[in-house]
Amino acid sequence: MYGTARGEWRTTRQRAAVLGALRACDGFVSAQALHAALAADGVAVGLTTVYRTLRLLESAGHVDVVRDGDGERLYRPRPDGGHRHYAVCRECGLSLAVDSEEVEQWVARTVRLIGFRAVDHTVELTGVCGDCHRPADRRTDP
Amino acid sequence: MYGTARGEWRTTRQRAAVLGALRACDGFVSAQALHAALAADGVAVGLTTVYRTLRLLESAGHVDVVRDGDGERLYRPRPDGGHRHYAVCRECGLSLAVDSEEVEQWVARTVRLIGFRAVDHTVELTGVCGDCHRPADRRTDP
DNA sequence: GTATGTGCAAACGATTTGCAGACTG
DNA sequence: CAGTCTGCAAATCGTTTGCACATAC
């Protein structure tokens, strides 16, 4: 494989910082946002290093990754063992883990049905959360 | 402006070509691939124009759009009225529309449950199709 | 001490945009 | 004709890489 599970990374100030900042976030963050947050926190870490660390975490399976509307990668520390799916608010960025047991089963069944193998699935919900669509706000009301 | 739903586009050689090439494709194609296909077909259309036409089609709802693993946009003419979900083979690009009634319902229910509004959902399956994982091929066998 | 990690700046690749000229209606 | 559309080249933007230096073990 790709050096994924080597568990041999050196412990550096930068990596600790990135990991810490990532954990300190509620929802998904982009590499750039993370870098900015670190900088704002007075921690100097190169953008390059943020990207590299995030990629490392990704291949080690320590983070979940989604893509926002522009194809930008958003990272989130993985809660526990398995992967999850989220509903992300496009106004405030709030992300809610949703129960997707049913979807998982549907995926498994569908995969079997169509004869695909090594299937990856993406299930993303993006909308406007309860806090963000208060009366004053609505400008989208079909 | 974005001239989205104006229905006033001029009929040009380039647009017809792009639309034709798009329709001639089985599965999803990237703008670049489409441009290359057109060129290979002897039809000269600027890459810019391909992008612009595709964006037009997208906002008019005439194509479905997914993102491949690298965040590249892939387009496909929309089969009929509603939107569909697909399983895409990452080896040969084959795309299969899958029955996602269950998922749609789960989405609706979940959305109601968490109080989100104006929710968009993405459900993508990527794997290796039956034709591509013939015995000779397997190098991923967990 | 040596293999790794870091940071800067430059490279990248997909997509978008400015602008002058070509074309549709 | 006037308003669009096209295409080239240049600009963006997120992300990756080359390379010399710093650091962990």
B65 touches chain A (CB under 8 A): no
pLDDT given at position A20: 92
Give pTM, 2 decimals: 0.68
pLDDT given at position A21: 93
The one-character DSSP state at A39 is H
- B25 assigned binding-site residue: no
Domains and CATH numbers, chain B: 1-80 (1.10.10.10), 84-142 (3.30.1490.190)
- Determine, for residues B73 and A73 on separate chains, whether the beta-carbon distance falls below 8 Å: no
Question: What average pLDDT does range B102-110 have in this prediction?
Answer: 86
Q: In this complex, which residue's CA is closest to the C1' atom of nucleotide D22?
A: A12
Mean pLDDT rounded to a whole number for chain B = 80
B76: Cβ–Cβ under 8 A, 6 or more apart, which residues?
B22, B25, B27, B28, B29, B63, B64, B65, B66, B86, B95
Q: Indicate whether A36 pLDDT > 70.
A: yes
Q: How far apart are CA A120 and CA A88, in angstroms?
A: 20
pLDDT above 90: percentage of residues in chain B: 25
pLDDT digits (tens, 9 = 90+) for B119-132: 778 787 877 787 77
pLDDT given at position B93: 67
Residue in chain B nearest A70 by alpha carbon: B71
Q: Which residues of A touch B100 (CB under 8 A)?
A: 106
Mean pLDDT rounded to a whole number for chain A = 80
Q: How far apart are CA B90 and CA B68, in angstroms?
A: 9
- B72 assigned binding-site residue: no
Tokens 């968009």, located at residue: B120
pLDDT given at position B36: 93
A101 touches chain B (CB under 8 A): no
Residues with CB under 7 A from strand D: A 10-13, 30-32, 47-48, 51-52, 55, 70, 72-73; B 3, 8-10, 12, 14-15, 44-49, 52-53
Q: Indicate whether A127 pLDDT > 90.
A: no
pLDDT given at position A80: 65
Least confident range of A59-73, A91-105, B68-82, B123-137: B123-137
Q: How far apart are CA A23 and CA A78, in angstroms?
A: 9
pLDDT given at position B81: 55
- Determine, for residues A87 and B124 on separate chains, whether the beta-carbon distance falls below 8 Å: no
Q: Which residues of A touch B58 (CB under 8 A)?
A: none
pLDDT given at position B140: 44
Residue A51 pLDDT class (50, 70, 90 cuts): very high
Find which of A43-57, A70-84, B80-94, B113-127 is predicted with most confidence, using mean pLDDT: A43-57
Which pair of structure tokens corresponds to residue B11? 């009929």
The one-character DSSP state at A141 is -
Q: Which residues pair with A64 in a beta bridge?
A: A76
Question: What average pLDDT does range B76-96 have in this prediction?
Answer: 74
pLDDT given at position A89: 77
